[in-house]
């Protein structure tokens, strides 16, 4: 596999800046080289750097989300919608009808599957005026 230094640097930066990687950088974790072999423990300064990077990344995402929410609110206000429309209250759940501890009664024997319907036959009538056709109507014709 031929990778330039720039491609390798970009790939490693992408991998090591991912949240999953940064979460995994913990004190006492084993460092792994590019071949997958263990090569020592992580140093405290690297663990601290990963923690800071993760905090900064989370702060950036939170700021972006806040900005998007502000834009949505502005757009809604410009459209004349209420900013925080009150939500309707949910109806309370119906009270259970059977008493606690009472056993469930089995249902009456009902067929679990419905009887298959016979396919409907459509009447085929020759059409000379297309104004009598409807949307979704199946047509049969000859070409050639």
Q: What is the band of 5 on the pLDDT scale with cuts at 50, 70, 90?
A: very high
Picking from 9, 47, 2, the residue whose alpha carbon sits closest to that of residue 26 is 47
Using CA atoms, how far residue 1 sits from 4, 8, 12, 49, 74, in Å, is: 10, 11, 15, 31, 50
Write down the mean pLDDT value for the chain: 83
Q: Which domain holds residue 23?
A: 9-78
**Residue 95 included in any domain:** no
Picking from 66, 19, 61, 27, the residue whose alpha carbon sits closest to that of residue 47 is 27
pLDDT at 101: 67
**pLDDT one-digit tens code per residue, 100-128:** 667 777 777 766 677 777 777 767 777 77
**Residue 1 included in any domain:** no
87 vs 52, residue with greater confidence: 52
pLDDT at 144: 61
Provide the whole-model pTM.
0.47
**Residue 118 included in any domain:** no
pLDDT for residue 54 is more than 90: yes
**Residue 98 included in any domain:** no
CA distance 39 to 30: 7
Structure tokens at 143: 């070409």
Q: What is the band of 47 on the pLDDT scale with cuts at 50, 70, 90?
A: very high
| Element holding 13 (H helix, E strand) | helix 5-16
**Residue 21 included in any domain:** yes
**Residue 135 included in any domain:** no
Give the contacts of 124 (CB within 8 A, at least 6 positions apart): 140
Question: What is the number of structural domains in the chain?
Answer: 1
List helix spans (H) across 17-138: 19-24, 44-78
pLDDT at 142: 74
CA distance 45 to 31: 13
**Residue 45 included in any domain:** yes
pLDDT at 76: 85
**Residue 62 included in any domain:** yes
């Amino acid at each position: 596999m031929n990778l330039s230094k720039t491609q390798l640097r970009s790939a490693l930066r992408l991998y090591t800046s991912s949240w999953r990687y940064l979460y995994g950088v913990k004190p006492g974790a084993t460092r792994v080289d590019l071949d997958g072999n263990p090569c020592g423990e992580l140093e405290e300064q690297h663990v601290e750097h990963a923690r800071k990077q993760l905090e900064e990344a989370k702060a950036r995402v939170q700021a972006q989300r806040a900005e998007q929410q502000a834009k949505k609110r502005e757009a809604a206000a410009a459209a004349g919608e209420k900013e925080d429309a009150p939500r309707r209250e949910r109806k309370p759940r119906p009270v259970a009808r059977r008493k606690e501890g009472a056993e469930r009664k089995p249902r009456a024997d009902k067929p679990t599957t419905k009887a298959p319907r016979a396919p409907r036959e459509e009447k085929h009538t020759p059409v000379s005026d297309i104004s009598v056709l409807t949307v979704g109507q199946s047509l049969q014709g000859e070409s050639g």
